[in-house]
Amino acid sequence: MFYNKLILTLSIIFLATQVNAKEDNYSFLHYKSEVFYVGGKYIKQSKDKTLMSEQMYVEKWTPKEIKHKYPLVLIHGAAQTAVNWITTPDGRPGWANYFVKNGYVVYMVDQPSRGRSAWHPKINKEFRMFNAEILEKKFTAAEQFKNQWPQAYKHNQWPGTGRQGDETFDQFYASQVESVKSHVESSNLVKNAGVALLDKIGPAILITHSQSGPFGWLITDARPDLVKGIVTIEPSGPPIKNKKGKKSMTWGVSVVPMTYEPAIASAKQLEVVQETKAQGTNLVKCWKQKEPAKQLVNLKDKNILFLVSESSYHAPYDHCTSNWLTQAGVKNDLVRLEDVNIKGNGHMLMLEKNNLEIAKFIDNWLNKNIK
């Protein structure tokens, strides 16, 4: 009996030591974790078979001491899940850890039909999956490839080589999951689930990245009173057409309808023109509205931070999305990270070596702009 008690005591001491050793990095004892689902509907497959579809997984972290009025809702991009926010592929703390440690309630989601939000082949149909080579060229090792976008060579913040066989890259690629192929379908799925989440939790600040950037505009358009601010990181774009002339965000900042004034029933009613000259070196010529520009009325009066990294493939064109918003009456703070001395980042900046420096910049902006 004595030896059993001794072993138990030593085990508790060992566990406490291990937790204390990690506390500076992960602060496991500083938040409460909960999981729930929002949205979803039952769909009959046959007389006696029913499935649920369109639900969204939500993970909530609540700090011991809440220091901020509004929680953060973190929405990942294509092929990703909430794992993006929890940790990095080389095992460092992610943004969720930073924000909860600094007193924010944090909600993280897996988009509908993604990750822990169930998908069904008979209902959701076509999916897409990024191959490893695409991630190497666009996300993790852009600087190693020729004939890419002009800023690619500046990339130096990815931990490791960024290539297959490197442990960090292998961990990153292992985390990739299938995505709904249709941009229209995924837009509507996340919009509806995001609205359901805000209806449940109340006013919040959205943090979006890449594919989810347009979803943030859509959620705000549907629930303007419940979105108190937006931090958008390299949202999908640019407006109207991309550099190759293919259709992009046909509704300006989305591929599905948004509320403009004067009202329009179709994206074809947006009268647009392309700039005759780019606004700077290594920037694309933007598409904009003809004046007088129709206004995105439900996005007005929001505090919006628009982040672009130094070396991402978004660097040549993200200003076009920012300009579209401005012309449509939506003020936004466009910040190129190199202009605030945060250099060398690519598109997956929340996973890179200086990820917490960027989180701190966002935190400071939120404290200054959202009360």
Annotated active-site positions, please? 210
Q: What phi and psi values does residue 93 have, to the nearest 5 degrees?
A: -65, 140
Element (DSSP H or E) covering residue 304? strand 304-308
Pick from 305, 309, 308: nearest CA to 364: 305
Q: Write the CA distances from 17 to 30, 137, 238, 337, integer angstroms.
A: 16, 42, 50, 38
Q: What are phi and psi of 155, to 5 degrees?
A: -70, 125
The Cα–Cα gap between 200 and 214 comes to: 21
CA atoms of 246 and 249, how far apart (whole Å): 10
**Residues in CB range of 364: below 8 A, 6 or more apart:** none
Amino acid at 289: Q
- Contact of 71 with 205, CB cutoff 8 Å: yes
**Could you tell me where the DSSP H helices lie in the chain?**
2-26, 83-86, 95-101, 121-124, 132-135, 167-174, 183-201, 213-222, 318-327, 355-369
Q: If we measure between CA atoms, which residue out of 246, 323, 319, 335 comes closest to residue 281? A: 319
Do the Cβ atoms of 204 and 279 come closer than 8 Å?
no
Q: Which tokens hold the place of 85?
A: 């926010």
